[in-house]
A = this chain, B = another copy of it.
Amino acid sequence: MRPPVLGPDPYGALMRTPAANLLTRAGLPKPPRLRRHEPGQDLLTGPALVIGLDGATWTGDLGTWLRAAGATVLDEHPGGTGEERLGAVLVDASGLRRVEELGQLRERLAPAFRRTRGRVLLLGADPARLTDPEARAVQQGLEGLLRSLAKEARGGTTVNLVRIAPGARTALRSAVEFLCSARSAFVHGQPVLVGAGEPAPARERPVAVVTGAARGIGAAIVDVLARTGHHVVCVDVPAAGDGLAAVANRVHGSTLHLDVTADTAPQVLATHLADRFDGADVVVHNAGITRDRSFVNLDEAAWNSVLDVNLRAPLRLTTGLLDHPGALAPAARFVYLSSINGLAGAKGQTNYATSKAGLVGLVQALAEPLAARGLAANAVAPGFIETPMTAAMPPVPRELGRRIASLQQGGLPVDVAEAVGWLAQPDAAGIDGQVLRVCGQNLLGA
């Protein structure tokens, strides 16, 4: 389940490197050890508090869902003077419409925030649907609060914001369960929009396809999708060799050696899925390459190969699968691996950033037409992740890359995989056209 570079205790190994010691001695805080998914673990590390501000409509549901997931839900103590350590605090701010009402956030969330080690979840309305200027200002203001609170959180506590569009009950429950769980350990400081969409009846053995499955993030995605009951078709280039079979074998999946950039790739994949599996439920476009060099020194091959693999191939495969009868199951999901470097840009990565920003545009263009067919497309944008790719960086820039995040560390491939796994779940059907950063609130933007 772990990339080979890290061994059984990645956190310990990463904390003991000379570069890590150097930065800690220089005064940077020691990164917290993040709680990650283990079979059978509790949802939370302590009781949950649910706070409903003016106009809140979800507090009852939140309590019900948390209890159903095994959590203890506390009553809010009058005056906020409770002292018990909390595993999570959830604040329904979706009914706030006036600037004065924002004061309730400070008054009621602050005492709970102080007591929380685990998860902080803000619930808001979708600002884009509000026409009243003050209402939209208030709901957009929550994003400033979100990002600031995330920067103030300590000890591995995460803060995220779920924006609720009409009809989002099922997707909201799914988002709450994911964002409260250890599966979202490296999702921090992020807004997510949830909308209408009901899960299709689950197939007995749903099928997922993952490109670039032989190693790194792709292999972790295979593991997570297998854990959630999928038969996984592991796709990689022939050059990946035995690595691909090893990944597929450990989850009883199957392999398909395929160069995603080949002219015939869409037809080959579509036929494979239609004929052998009665269509795919989940398609994860993870295959990607880098050819880093400054823009003025990039040659044609370095530009074209990155754009071909990272952007043109997912585009062609998507079209091919959509057009081929039977290649997709009735409620199929597409997930595309973007990157925060596609959102923020990166020196020496004009080609890579162009391709990864392009995937954002692709997902945004697909959202509506796919929703009309009962399908959905989303992107996941990893930040600094411990992979063979980042293991090859020089030690000090690598350590700085890890620390320049509110969680003060890099993520693991499994963190990205868990986000993909969530978006692949049947009850996440109402999440469409979104770009979810999995970056520990990496501070890189522009």
Contact = CB atoms under 8 A, between A and B. Distances in A.
Q: Interface on chain A toward B: helix, strand, loop, or mixed SS? A: helix
B152 A348 contact: yes
Given A144-B353, A315-B137, A354-B102, A127 B361 contact: yes
A300 B103 contact: yes
B140 A295 contact: no
Interface stretch (A61-69, A106-114, A247-255, A419-427): A106-114
Nearest to A361: B140
A199 B114 CA distance: 52
A381 B134 CA distance: 19
Copies of this chain in its oligomeric complex: 2
A348 B189 CA distance: 15
A23 interface: no
Contact of A143 (B103, B150, B357, B445): B357
Given A99-B315, A134-B315, A445-B443, A106 B300 contact: yes
Q: Which of A349, A357, A406 has the most CB of B within 10 A?
A: A357
Interface string A345-377: 111111111111111111011100100000000
Interface in A310-339: 311-312, 315, 318-319
B110 A295 contact: yes
Interface of A: 99-100, 102-103, 105-107, 109-111, 113-114, 127-128, 130-152, 189, 294-296, 298, 300, 303-304, 307-308, 311-312, 315, 318-319, 341-362, 364-366, 369, 406, 441-446
29 contacts: A99-B311, A102-B354, A103-B300, A103-B304, A106-B303, A111-B296, A131-B365, A133-B366, A136-B361, A136-B364, A137-B315, A137-B359, A137-B362, A140-B362, A141-B354, A142-B354, A142-B357, A144-B345, A144-B357, A145-B345, A145-B357, A147-B344, A147-B346, A151-B345, A151-B347, A151-B446, A152-B350, A444-B445, A445-B446
